[in-house]
Amino acid sequence: MTANSIIVETVHAIEGLEVPHDAALNSAKQRQAQLTKPVGSLGKLELLALRVAGITGNMSPVLKNKIIYIAAGEHGVTDENISAYPQTVTPQMVSNFLSGGAAINVLANQLGIGVLVVNAGVYGDFAPHDMLIDIGIPTRTANIRTGPAMTNDVAAEIVSKGIELISSRHVDEHIDIVGLGEMGIGNSTSASAIISANSKLDPMYTTGIGTGLDEAGHQRKIQVIRDALEINRTVLNKIYSDPIEKSLSYLAAVGGHEIAALTGIALGAAANRIPIVADGLISTAAILLAQIAQPKLANFVITSHSSTEPGHSIALDSMQLDHPLLDLEMRLGEGTGSALAIGFCDLACHLLNDMSTFDEAEVDQSNQSK
């Protein structure tokens, strides 16, 4: 199959899914109402378990195989001095992920989550590693300030590889929930550009300080994104009849290779009824692109945390996603917010499945329930 046919087939598969799955959701609600607690007393944990049940189609979801995909790539826009850190940090951090020394490794280890690193064109040679998946991207994106990041064909190829990555692994080992993470110096510039292009808002409203820019650096980053939107205006301002073409065109114009991979992973997860846990700005931009291609995709997404990057809330609002589960003033990326939220999802499902009902525990119910 061609890359485009894989994407089209996946989008059509999602269209045919009932989400939330009414039977599973209603059965889970009935069980929630019988558990030994006042109705609603566990707050968002109750709603979280119901959301997982509705996505998976399982009234008693068990999150045994939990995985975070960290997609990593290089960005030509780093030539414009839009980050507080040099490009060399990207391959160095990939090595750090593989050796287990990053924040995401610590969180994932404590929460029983597997971590996989998707190499989407990171500079350097990496020894074979169980955590590393190389999807064969030979180089960085082009500088979006001077033209498109990549061609539509390259964008489609990487998205299709993301779809195949998660779909094939799901066949082999059944993934219960997936979190999205990323690494790539310059990728918050691309993410903010995607969100500005979609919302038609000036980059001053969608662009934050990323890795810690000072005010002069922040203003430079905003101007670079304005220039990128202007140079790619024909593509970004076009009226599209085909949502897949629109998604790929936005991605090709101002996106990144790792964002493309995450877009595919999100589409593949949804097609397999795997709950998708979004991290911060960059992974949410990838989900936005996936949702442009298939509007039902947002129904499979759980938002982990409120990023301090301003474009994050704009992207969430545009997809009408629920308010994020956590607000810890985080902006690291890597999937750190995803890891924390997956932990809460796991706990929520255990509460649904493992608590006793009033009848089982021989506890009297509220007079209001009689």
Q: In the predicted model, what is the mean pLDDT of residues 305-321?
A: 95
- Convert 110-137 to b/e letters by CB count within 10 Å (16 or more is b): ebebbbbbbbbbbeeeeeeeebbbebeb
Phi, psi dihedrals of residue 177, rounded to the nearest 5°: -160, 145
- Catalytic residue positions, numbered: 334
Are 207 and 254 spatial neighbours (Cβ–Cβ below 8 Å)?
no
Are 267 and 293 spatial neighbours (Cβ–Cβ below 8 Å)?
yes
In the chain, the percentage of residues whose pLDDT exceeds 90 is 95
The band of 322, judged by pLDDT with boundaries at 50, 70 and 90, is: confident
Are 135 and 166 spatial neighbours (Cβ–Cβ below 8 Å)?
no
Phi, psi dihedrals of residue 75, rounded to the nearest 5°: -125, 125
pLDDT digits 0-9 by tens, 125-183: 999 999 999 999 989 999 999 999 999 999 999 999 999 999 999 999 999 999 999 99
- pLDDT of 228 > 60? The answer is yes
Q: Which three-class secondary structure state does DSSP give residue 114?
A: strand
CA separation, residue 206 to residues 194, 227, 311, 316, 319 (Å): 9, 15, 4, 12, 15
CA separation, residue 176 to residues 114, 123, 258, 284 (Å): 12, 32, 23, 20
DSSP class of 35: B
Nearest 5°: the CA angle 335, 340, 342 is 90
CATH number for the domain harbouring residue 7: 3.40.50.10210
Sign (positive or negative) of CA dihedral 229, 235, 239, 244: negative
- 103: domain range? 3-369
- List, in sequence order, every residue forming a beta bridge with 179; answer none if it has no partner: 68, 277
- pLDDT of 369 > 70? The answer is no
pLDDT digits 0-9 by tens, 78-114: 999 999 999 999 999 999 999 999 999 999 999 999 9
| pLDDT score, position 311 | 96
Residues composing the chain = 370
Phi, psi dihedrals of residue 100, rounded to the nearest 5°: 85, 20
Q: Tokens for 288? A: 């936005």
Give the whole-angstrom CA distance, residue 105 versus residue 114.
9
pLDDT digits 0-9 by tens, 46-70: 999 999 999 999 999 999 999 999 9
pLDDT digits 0-9 by tens, 282-303: 999 999 999 999 999 999 999 9
**pTM, to two decimals:** 0.97
The band of 245, judged by pLDDT with boundaries at 50, 70 and 90, is: very high
Q: In the predicted model, what is the mean pLDDT of residues 342-354?
A: 98
Give the whole-angstrom CA distance, residue 158 versus residue 212.
29
Q: What is the separation of C-alpha 178 from the centre of its chain, rounded to a whole number of angstroms?
A: 9
| pLDDT score, position 277 | 98
Give the whole-angstrom CA distance, residue 136 versus residue 211.
27
Q: How many domains does the chain have?
A: 1
